[in-house]
Amino acid sequence: MAQKYELRQMNQPKPNPFDNALEQLRIAAEYLKLDEGLHQMLASPKRQLTVSLPVKMDNGSIHVFTGYRVQYNDARGPFKGGIRYHPNVSLDEVKALSAWMTWKTSVANIPYGGAKGGIICDPKHMSQGELERMTRRYAAAIAPLIGPYKDIPAPDVYTNAQIMAWIVDTYSTLEGYMTPGVVTGKPISLGGSLGRDKATGRGAVFCTVEAAKVNKIDLKKATFAVQGYGNAGSFFAEILQTYGAKMMGASDSRGAIASKTPMDADKLIAYKAKTGSVVGFPGSQPISDKELLQMDVDILSPAALENSILPDTAKGIKAKIITECANGPTTPESDKILHANKVFMIPDILANSGGVIVSYLEWVQNLERIGWSEAEVNDMLEKKITGAFHDVHAASLKHGTDMRTAAMIVGVGRVAEAVKTLGTFP
C-alpha cells in the first residue's frame, strides 16, 4: 500500500498574528478617532475562503491539503496579496497577512485593497510534480474569486514565479483565454516585470537609506544583520552593500551565522544556492537566532516570519534601525520596548512594500500591453516608496508616535476614508 504523505509540523509561533494585527489597528483607530462601527468594519475581513485540495502524490496516494484565500478589504481597489506555502499556515495567519496587505497598499498609495492566500504544506519535501498539481488544484478552487479586476495573487514565502505561471495557465484554461494580469510576480516570458524579483529587497534598501539620513547614520560605515536569507533578505543584503554597508550576520531556517569580517552578500547567495543554507559559510561562526537579532550592528532586518522579535529578544536589540522585510516580525509588546529604547523602526507595511509596488507596475504593464525597462521600474519604485517613507515619517513627527503607529495612521486612515465615502450597503 502507498505510504501516506506526512506533514511535518514545525513549532507553532506563540502569539496569534491576527491578535497582533487587531492590536495595531486598535492603536491607529484611537489616533484617528474612528467611530466604533467603522473600527469594526476595518477589523473584519470581507470574505474568507477555505478549500480542500485532493492531490495525487508521487507514490500514488491522495493527500488532501487545506488552503485559504482571505479577501480583507477592497474599498481602494481590487484585492491584492501573495500566496504562502508553509507547514504553519493557519486561517488566523492568513487573516493577519491580508489585513497587513490592506494597510500596505494604502501606505504605498497604489489602487488596491488587501488579501492573502496560503496552503498548509511542506514544499521543501514535495516534488515539482506534486507542487504543480497542488497549485493547479488550488488555482481552480479559488478561480471564482480571483481575476485581474477582482483579486490578484502574487508570490510570498516559499512560492515563486513558476508557481505563478501554473496559476496563470490554470486560470486562463478555465476562462478560455490568456489572462496574464490575474497574478503578479510571473516569469518574464509570461508578462512578468523586470525588477520584480528584487523589488522587496530594493524597496527596503530605499527606506533604509532614508532612515539613515533621518538618524544621521553614514551607510558607508554601517554594519547590518539579516534574519532569513531568502528572496527579500538576500536581495536586501546584496543591494544594501552597494551603499557601503557591511553584513556581519545572517540566518535561514537551518541556523544563524556571524562573522568578524564583513561577508559578501553575493557570495553568501551563491553558497546558499549550492549547499541549501547559509550555515557553514567560510569564515563564519554558528550563533543562535537570538544572538543574531541582538548583534551589535547598526541595521537589523528581520526577513523571515511573524513573531521573530518577542519581548525577551526586543530588550537586548542593539541595532539603531530595524528594517522589517518580513511581515509581522515584531509583536505590539516588543514595539513598545523598541520605541522606549529609541530603535528607529521601518515597519513591514512600509519597508517591504516594494514587492507589491512593483507587482502594481507589472499589472499596469499587463493591462496596458506595455513594457518598461528595469531602470524605469526601479526609478518608479524609488519615487513611490521614498514618498511613502516621508508620508509616514511626517505623520510620526505630527502625532509624536513611533513609525509603526504612524504607518498605521496613514494606511488605515486612507482605507477608513474610502470605506466611509462608499457608504454602507444596503
Taking the complex as a whole, the smallest distance from the CB of residue 196 to ligand GLU amounts, in Å, to 8
Query: How many Å separate Cα 300 from the centre of its chain?
Result: 16
Q: Which stretch binds ligand GLU (CB under 6 A): 80-88, 122-130, 170-178, 302-310?
A: 80-88
C-alpha pair distances (Å), 165 with each of 314, 369, 423: 40, 18, 38
Q: Is the dihedral of CA 286, 288, 292, 296 positive or negative?
A: negative
**Would you say 85 or 281 has its CB closer to ligand GLU?**
85
Residue span binding ligand GLU (CB under 6 A) among the ranges 75-83, 117-125, 172-180, 386-394: 75-83
Can residue 327 be called a binding residue for ligand GLU (CB under 6 A)? Answer: yes
Number of residues that bind ligand GLU (CB under 6 A): 12
Residue from 22, 24, 11, 19 nearest 324 by CA: 24
CA distance 202 to 280: 27
Nearer of residues 81 and 195 to ligand GLU, judged by Cβ: 81
Could you tell me which residues are beta bridge partners of residue 68? 50, 118
Peptide bond before 13: cis, by omega within 30 degrees of 0? no
Residue with Cβ nearer ligand GLU (327 or 331): 327
**Is 116 one of the annotated active-site residues of the chain?**
yes
Nearer to ligand GLU, 28 or 356 (CB): 356
Q: What is the closest distance, in whole angstroms, from the C-beta atom of residue 164 to ligand GLU in the complex?
A: 10
Cα–Cα distance, 182 to 148 (Å, whole number): 4
Rounded CA gap, 251 and 302, in Å?
10
Q: How far apart are CA 298 and CA 240, in angstroms?
A: 12
Using the rule CB under 6 A, which residue among 67, 78, 82, 203 binds ligand GLU?
82
Piece of 44-52, 63-71, 235-243, 349-357 that binds ligand GLU (CB under 6 A): 349-357
CA separation for the pair 52, 63 (Å, rounded): 10
Does the footprint of ligand GLU cover residue 284 (CB under 6 A)? Answer: no
d(CA 215, CA 218): 9
Judged by CB under 6 A, the chain residues 107 through 166 that form the site for ligand GLU are 154, 156
C-alpha cell at 193: 516585470
Is 352 a binding residue for ligand GLU by CB under 6 A? The answer is: yes
Name the residue nearer to ligand GLU (CB basis): 66 or 160.
Answer: 160
Encoded amino acid at 40, one letter: Q
> Among 80, 95, 104, 116, which one carries the catalytic annotation?
116
Segment lying near ligand GLU (by CB under 6 A), choices 76-84, 85-93, 162-170, 363-371:
76-84
* Residue number, 170 or 231, with CB nearest to ligand GLU: 231
User: Min. distance of Cβ 115 from ligand GLU in angstroms?
Assistant: 8
Site for ligand GLU in 357-396 (CB under 6 A): 359
Site for ligand GLU in 181-210 (CB under 6 A): 184-185
Q: Which three cell numbers stand for residue 359?
A: 507587482
Rounded (5°) CA angle 73-79-80: 120
The Cα–Cα gap between 381 and 353 comes to 10
Rg (C-alpha) for the chain, rounded Å, is 21
Of 266-274, 353-361, 403-411, 413-421, the window that binds ligand GLU (rule: CB under 6 A) is 353-361
Q: Smallest distance, Å, CB 315 to ligand GLU?
A: 28
DSSP string, 66-87: EEEEEEEE-TTSSEEEEEEEET
Interface residues with ligand GLU (CB under 6 A) are 80-82, 154, 156, 184-185, 327, 352, 355-356, 359
Residues assigned a catalytic role:
116
